[in-house]
Structure 1
Amino acid sequence: MKYDVISADGHVDLIWLPPDLFTSNAPASMKERMPHVVDGPKGPEWTSIKGAKFGLVNGMGSAGREYVPGIIHRSDRMASTGLYDDGKKGIRRLTEVDHRLKDQDRDGVQAEVLYGVLGSSGRLNDPEAAIVMLRIYNDWLHDFCKQAPDRLIGLANIPNYDMQESIAEATRCAKRGVKGLDIANRPDMTPLWDPFWEPLWKFGHDTGIPLHFHTIGGRSPDVTKYTPEVQRRIFATHITGFQMHMSTMLMGLMFSGAPARYPNLKIVIGEAGLGWIPYVLQHMDLEWEDQFQDLDLKMKPSEYWHRQFYATYQTDPVGIELLHHLGEDNVMWGSDYPHPDGIWPDSQEFLGRELTEVSPEAKRKITRDNAVKLYQLAN
């Protein structure tokens, strides 16, 4: 496959999956605990027996919101391609291979790295059932991607609360050649400095399979006691700042010592932007040199970053200006298709504008070569 542009961050959202996927494939004892579709006041919607709300079938974004024209500019642009109208007709452009590839072509992209349904595993509020749900999704994803393996690079979804189950599922997926693991990220999960994660760091080191943590932001605030106007202000604050929460994860993982202990461990921070990272790297270096050299880091934190870490972004002109601090080998672009904060189907316009001052070699790395190398793609 000849690659010109690879999106290192695309999505498969639960609400765009076949409506009977989980109920049809779960063991009899688990069927009623699986996500399923029911009729709702605004149309078919995904739910669970414990009252989880995953959103409208083929709805907008990972939460399956209703598309309302004129509210979100990028959603209007996506809607202009017929994405949501097709969804209402039962045409699942995210999860039907031919349609997915056509949407790649529309955006000037030859391949995507696919993040999945991990946020749904927490919303299910049923840890035992969530493990079954993720296993079913990973099986579906494997079959989906093998229809176009050079263009669809699926990340197996791994739970974050039962390390024995996490390693078992990671091992199962590794045996059939998965190119990356997406670890469930949620506000209440065990911090990355905790020894709880040690088996996973070792697994990543031993196999060379990259581990991914996709941004989700912090815990959503309770807005019910506020007026609609104040709710909008709260929502604006939450949405604008959600990527910054990944700084705590980066610092926790770095100071856990895992990158030093496991030099073949590769970590991808998904959709968290770039501009904040140089400051955090500089400040970790400062604190390590000043008072934390007793930790088992043999190099500056920033040196481990350059050796083992990657960040994906969709649009970040400030971050690109700081590329010499980030490292051109550590950045991968992604469109975030089909989320409303993404830039599909206008990616080429954004890339052309934001990478104008970047060297041709660095541009190739950001838009293609780093992903080819990390995911071992044939180019």
Structure 2
Amino acid sequence: MESFPWIVSVDDHTVEPPHVWQDRLPAKYRELGPRIVRAPLAEMTFVGGRFSPRMGAPGSDGPLADWWVYEDLRRPLTRLDTAVGYPREEVRLEAITYEQMRPGSFSIPERLADMDINHVQSALCFPTFPRFCGQTFTEAKDHELGLLCVRAYNDWMVEEWCGPAAQGRMIPLAIVPLWDAELAAAEVRRNAARGVRAVCFSEIPPHLGLPSIHTDDWDPFLRACEETGTVISMHIGSSSRMPSTSADAPPAVGSTITFANCCFSMVDWLMSGKFDRFPGLKIMYAEGQIGWIPYILARADVVWEENRAWGGVADKVLTRPSELFARHVYGCFFDDPHGLRNLDAIGAANVLYETDYPHSDSTWPRSREVAEEQMGHLGAPVVEQLVRGNAIELLGLTPEGLWAGGGGRG
């Protein structure tokens, strides 16, 4: 395409710098809060959708890595956290240090430079150490400290990652204390007051030991999101369980079916009655791709039409599921030619573009080229809609595609 629109990516990632919690927690909590320790790696596996690292004793054999230490958790930085800039054949499951990753993973000046290379104007970033919906703090023992960690992360996200140095090009994404819906609602409102319009949530909360979306437990949180115009953003893996088929399935199995949890989650939401009760709610599925959506919508409509009398939804799902999808749900993709060929069955207004920087699946530094190759059959107005227009409208950005709380683009 002669002139391709600047991309607004709705799914990138930040690797948090070591100081995030140490600079923001009260002094009495700093030795207990998340902190970086350099130590050897003894063993690390990723089988059956489960990531299992083990830290070696000081001075023991094994490659040195930077580890997040928090309560009983020992979590190393890995090459899968930040793989951009490395040939695909060299991207392996290995523990690394900050010096071994591309600086744009954790530093704003270098991130903006990498975005320029990739034809990306603005980006919404999911967490790394807190995990994709902040479940690290939900799974912690001390929820008083966990709440402070959630707030510290959000303060860093707004004030530093999306601060003046970002020139409005970074879009803030908050986490919430998922263990308490009232506290979660309060954190949504606290951040909405300073311009945050997106919040992380789990695709399948019961996998975290939390209530399902079919209960009323989440209503305070959902009400806060609706009233503040905050988008509920669900990333693959935000249930602490990547899809897999067996405990011994290699990672390639899960990598092929990463969309599956999004698929299950979307059906949950469409059959929950929440959209009829909260008509202003908007949800999005990050990194789930879109090719699977047409069949699920068609099947959900058939079930709603023919089976709702015995299916447990007749009295709460008052609107056809495909209509609910059109009003409330957004699918996100970065590499899905099949989905784009079936865009009419999804709806161009319900699709967002992403680059997944700096993960191993990322299309960086070729996101523009990939989009041009896969969107060549679409008209210019539709391309504009997919790569930036829908995101600008959904996330309340300026007409130029910037976050208003972060200044202008230089």
Q: TM-score range by the shorter chain?
A: 0.7 to 0.9
Aligned-residue offset at 1:74 = 8.6
Separation in 1, partners of 2:240, 2:72? 22
Instruction: Map 1:261-300 onto structure 2 (within 5 A).
Output: 261-292=277-308, 294-300=314-320
Which segments of 5 or more consecutive residues in structure 2 lack a partner in the other structure?
41-62, 401-410
Whole-angstrom CA distance in 1 between matches of 2:332 and 2:101: 31
Residues 1:210 and 2:231 aligned together: yes
Instruction: Kindly indicate whether residue 127 of structure 2 is the aligned counterpart of residue 116 of structure 1.
Output: yes
CA distance in 1, matches of 2:259, 2:115: 25
Tell me the equivalent position of 1:61. Answer: 80
1:130 deviates by 2.9
Q: Which moved more, 1:147-156 or 1:335-344?
A: 147-156
Matches within 5 A, 1:164-175: 164-175=182-193
SS across alignment from 1:167: helix
Q: Distance in 1 between matches of 2:9 and 2:333?
A: 10
Task: State the Cα deviation string for residues 23-61 of structure 1 (Å, max 9, x = none).
Answer: 2321234323322111212334223243323223xx423
Deviation at 1:122, TM superposition (A): 3.3
For residue 182 of structure 1, what is the aligned residue in structure 2?
A: 200
Higher helix share: 1
Query: Structure 1: how far apart are the matches of 2:363 and 2:244?
Result: 29
Unaligned runs of 5+ in 1: 77-83
1:218 Cα deviation from its structure 2 partner = 6.7
Aligned match of 1:240 = 256
Q: Distance in 2 between matches of 1:296 and 1:283?
A: 18
Alignment of 1:71-150 (within 5 A): 72-73=88-89, 75=91, 87-88=98-99, 92-117=103-128, 118-119=130-131, 121-123=134-136, 125-127=139-141, 128=143, 129-143=145-159, 144-147=161-164, 148-150=166-168
Rounded to whole Å, the distance in 1 between the matches of 2:279 and 2:242 is: 35
Secondary structure at the counterpart of residue 48 of structure 1: strand
Measure the CA separation in 2 of the matches of 1:24 and 1:196. 34
Higher mean Cα deviation, 112-121 or 99-108?
112-121
Partner of 2:218, secondary structure, is: helix
CA deviation map 1:146-205 (0-9, x unaligned): 323531101111232211221121111111111211124563243222221112221122
1:27 aligned partner:
26
TM-score (norm 1): 0.85
Q: TM-score, normalised by structure 2?
A: 0.79
2:241 corresponds in structure 1 to: 219
Query: CA 1:61–1:159 in 2, change beyond 3 Å: closer, same or farther?
Result: farther
Aligned equivalent of 1:5, options 4, 7, 32: 7
Asked if structure 1 preserves the Cα contact closer than 8 Å seen for 2:244 and 2:254, the reply is: no
- Measure the CA separation in 2 of the matches of 1:332 and 1:222: 26
Contact 1:154 1:180 in 2 (8 A): yes
Give RMSD over aligned pairs: 2.9
- Aligned partners of 1:156 and 1:255: how far apart in 2? 26
Question: Do the aligned residues in 1 keep the contact of 2:118 with 2:366 (CA within 8 Å)?
Answer: yes
Contact 1:37 1:44 in 2 (8 A): no
Residue 321 (structure 2) aligns with = 301
Residue 270 of structure 2 is aligned to residue 254 of structure 1: yes
Name the CA shift for 1:68/1:116 in 2 (closer, same or farther; >3 Å).
Answer: closer
1:37-52 pair list within 5 angstroms: 37-41=36-40, 42-52=63-73
Mapped to 2, the partners of 1:34 and 1:366 lie a distance apart of 40
Asked whether 1:368 is paired with 2:388, we answer yes
**Does residue 331 of structure 2 align to residue 311 of structure 1?**
yes
Report the alpha carbon displacement of residue 6 of structure 1 after superposing the two structures with TM. 1.2
Q: Partners in 1 of 2:290 and 2:177 — Cα distance? A: 26
Q: 1:175 to 1:270 in 2, by over 3 A?
A: same
Q: Indicate if the aligned counterparts of 2:147 and 2:177 stay in contact, CA closer than 8 A.
A: yes
Q: Structure 2 CA distance, aligned partners of 1:154 and 1:74?
A: 32
Distance 2:104 2:86 in 1: 20
**Code of the aligned partner of 2:131:** G
Q: 1:243 to 1:69 in 2, by over 3 A?
A: same
Report 1:342-357 matches (<5 A).
342-357=362-377
Aligned to 1:79: none
Instruction: Give, in whole Å, the separation in 1 of the partners of 2:391 and 2:266.
Output: 20
Conserved? CA contact 1:74–1:343, under 8 Å: no
What secondary structure is seen at the aligned counterpart in 1 of 2:348? coil
Count the aligned residue pairs: 356
**How much identity, in percent, do the aligned residues show?**
26
* Counterparts in 2 of 1:221 and 1:8: CA distance versus 1, 3 Å: closer
Q: Matches of 1:235 and 1:283 in 2, distance apart? A: 29
* Secondary structure, counterpart of 2:111 in structure 1: helix
Q: How many Å separate the matches in 1 of 2:250 and 2:189?
A: 41
* Residue 206 of structure 1: how far off its partner (Å): 1.3
Kindly provide the amino acid, as one letter, of the partner of residue 328 in structure 1: A
2:353 alignment partner in structure 1? 333
